[in-house]
Amino acid sequence: MEETAAKPRRSGGGGRQCCICHERRPALKRPKTLEQICRECFYAVFEEEIHQVIVENQLFKPGERIGIGASGGKDSTVLAYVLSELNKRHNYGLDLFLLSVDEGITGYRDDSLETVKRNEVQYGLPLKIVSYKDLYGWTMDEIVKMIGLKNNCTFCGVFRRQALDRGAALLKVDKLATGHNADDIAETVLLNILRGDIARLSRCTSITTGIYSPNAYRGFAREFIKDLERIRPRAILDIIKSGEDFRIATSTKMPEQGTCERCGYISSQKWCKACVLLEGLNRGMPKLGIGRSRGLNSNQMKTDKPTSRTKSIESKQCGSLDF
């Protein structure tokens, strides 16, 4: 970052210069610090901070193949730009790719996929699109035709989470970079507290993970975080700090991390959630793995203790159970 050793020039309003270069007129007030900053310095500071995070946490090694999760949205576009910039500027020596997921929903992804294709051209990053059809044999349109409009969010969410991972494996990338920002992580910390998900709470602030699942009160949480940021911008980072400082009691039962018997994906059950859902689709039993219905895993697992309440284990997301 070039810091111009300029003499502070005072124009009529005194202190109306960018607080970093003291030369140019400020273009915005930086949300993180509320400082007044000009465009060029904002770019510089923003990129430098990301570079620092990468260096301090040793996120990459030279020669690694990095898949950039690209949705076509602002976060992944910025990520693609910044990573390719920094890769050049600081000689990370990385092999960068764009990785995009096509759920097979007509009209939904088309625009964003166009954006990603543009990114490919603009930043010179090869693009690979993995589709649900490729990975699972079903498009979302086909799934919806089979199961209707209820519960399709479950399918899409579970499949999408795995799709990036599986796509990355197909491409033989060493690491997956996603555009999750502080707001996302803060929101996730908050949601995990609200949901009672202690297992995820302990994982969600580690720098290399980020997990989503669709829920209605996410909307409330998002609003809350926006309001909070207005009152105290640093609260977002404070939430992340709290998340990092949480000490989970060792007596708390955490789900065991194993692998799915069918596909080898990480799972705390014999079959991962995606495989359970797929089995249901393929067998024409679309309710398998949804809600409280007794399903595949309970038949497979001999260790399942009979309970009087119809609590179904497989209705929970992978990695979110208490044993």
- Of the pair 170, 198, the CB lying nearest another protein is at 198
Among 19, 78, 170, 228, binds another protein (CB under 8 A): 228
Closest Cα to residue 40, out of 56, 25, 58?
A: 25
Is-contact 73 179, C-beta < 8 A? yes
Give the number of residues written for the chain: 323
Chain residues 251-270 in contact with another protein, contact rule CB under 8 A: 251-252
Range 237-244 contact pairs with CB under 8 angstroms and sequence separation of 24 or more: 237/32, 237/182, 237/186, 239/185, 239/186, 239/189, 239/190, 240/182, 240/185, 240/186, 240/189, 240/205, 242/189, 243/185, 243/189, 243/201, 243/204, 243/205, 244/205
> Which range, of 53-61, 85-93, 122-130, 210-218, touches another protein by CB under 8 A?
210-218
Binding residues: 69-71, 75, 101, 179, 184
Q: How far is the CB of 289 from another protein (least distance, A)?
A: 11
- Of the pair 41, 144, the CB lying nearest another protein is at 144
Is-contact 67 97, C-beta < 8 A? yes
131 lies in the binding site for another protein (CB under 8 A): no
> Which range, of 49-57, 87-95, 113-121, 238-246, touches another protein by CB under 8 A?
238-246
Residues 6+ apart with CB under 8 A from 271: 260, 261, 262, 279, 296, 297, 300, 314
- Of the pair 152, 300, the CB lying nearest another protein is at 152
Q: How far is the CB of 232 from another protein (least distance, A)?
A: 6
227 lies in the binding site for another protein (CB under 8 A): yes
Binding residues for ATP: 69-71, 75, 101, 179, 184
Q: How far apart are CA 46 and CA 43, in angstroms?
A: 5
Give the footprint of another protein on this chain (CB under 8 A). 71, 73, 149-154, 156-157, 160, 189-190, 192-198, 201, 212-220, 224, 227-228, 231-232, 234-235, 237-239, 241-252, 290-292, 308-309, 311-312, 315-317, 322
